[in-house]
Structure 1
């Protein structure tokens, strides 16, 4: 068994005065202080530092600036699932006996690119560069194709997609580390600038800087709360969406979820909240459908009618998700796990889901081409 025993977060936002190392060290120090003990391994998650910041070798980079020279350290990358993948690697180190206590820190500094076009190109390295990127496709455009197909297949309109970001922004207001801590009006969504028809600016997660850190241990010895990682489910799909049988189904999500439930030996009804990867409104909807929270094509109704609210029967992204908490992409998976830990240990403050004991986190690389699910329970 592996336990989460400490956590540290930086606010998500535009950190013009902080570098990649400042963010990574800040989150790491907070996590180590929360735990109160040292670690014997460091795993760093990141997606874009080589492209945007001109920095790789992040394992050595982080331990050098953290003052832990000599500590084994590596970097893990899996696009938007990088943080979750780093957790999987850390769990393997502990389970194998190679380490007893591991610091997992996710960090991303996206605003070093001041051009939106450059940032979009960097994020689009998560899709198939030869068959999708070279002809001019971007990650946002792939999500737009999925959204168009969803609208056509299920007869929904643009207004139906507003319910997702409206809830995410509402939840972020109560989340101290969230980037977009303001409520969104329906009319603002309908006036949102088009990015790739029919997807708009307010359908997409923002460009973000931030770092999150967790400490994993083979013993539940955290002084401020402990949570067991019950299981991990992991599955992949084709990186290029043109090779898929359906644009409105994400089989990797179903497969990872089924594996996670089976390994944890629990039923879906035991899960108190869902922290999902909502790079876009349509991906948020499809994900909730693949998790069985709504029938296909019915996710808009779930969000419209309050079923996904923090105090609803199936809370989704109580901290605001990628859409409003923000998406420092290589760190996002660690934020999700850290938020789940805070929830199941009763430390989520204004974002707390009452009585939450078991949480799901779902991280996705590309357009759900690499999906990692954690099931986490407070102990």
Structure 2
């Protein structure tokens, strides 16, 4: 990517064709980091979490990660027809994304070079097997390639070999009693192939949003990224549920009986996910937080000071490794070298997160 990309102007909502959607003056996502007004906090005092004075260190791991193909919901797509297998696939993705708006999860907006099914060529079967070869068009130059899928007969199937239908983005397998619809990115993740592309992290965020703007493709920062990188790339959302292990002589406050009420539990979780989000922004987007305003940077620094003080947080480590990870988990950015083993040590200095990538431990023999 050219250095000139750092200076591209952000398109206006009108240029994106979504100006009318922002007339409600919806707050920027980072405004959730600002402390609640004092009068509101007084009402919550009996429910606030009981904290400890002992120093804490956190070990953060990824409990679950899932990719969603953002291009399928961007713009103004028609309402999916749930009588159609592809429509059901799209609706399930919408439901999944809607559900994340109620949870504190981390997402990466990521790019991968464009790949499509080649509808001008035919699929083919192996002799006496369920090996299906599907033609592909790879990259912006649409280089001809193929992928071979070794299918397994589903439990509900009434046919030994499915009927195959192909569009540029979806493969449909009709097994008689069951119809499967797989997007090109589902296929590339689920079946071995020789397309060893890496996944470029463009933007880091948090899913919690009562307006579900991420799932409706109405979140301006993500739409800017999509607008700028959509010509030769596909964009996906990598959504991750994090597990935080608190190491402290006083134990983990989240495990105390007194902190099991919803307000206390959410405030403790919010501290942890806010800190993880800020650290991953710093790691993948660099110190200048490209595309973010000075106001956002100041708010995030103040929030990190609050988190460090209220938790007596000394340091934390984020380990993004996943078991059985595929090539989609070879992550990189303009500031981070490619790899599947991203382990990050984080400290806070006057509200600024200092990150350091550490090598993974040697594999067990």
When Rg is computed on C-alpha atoms for both structures, the one with the higher figure is 2
Q: Report the TM-score when normalising by structure 1.
A: 0.22
Name the one with the larger strand percent.
2
Structure 1 or 2: more helix by fraction = 1
TM-score by length of 2: 0.23
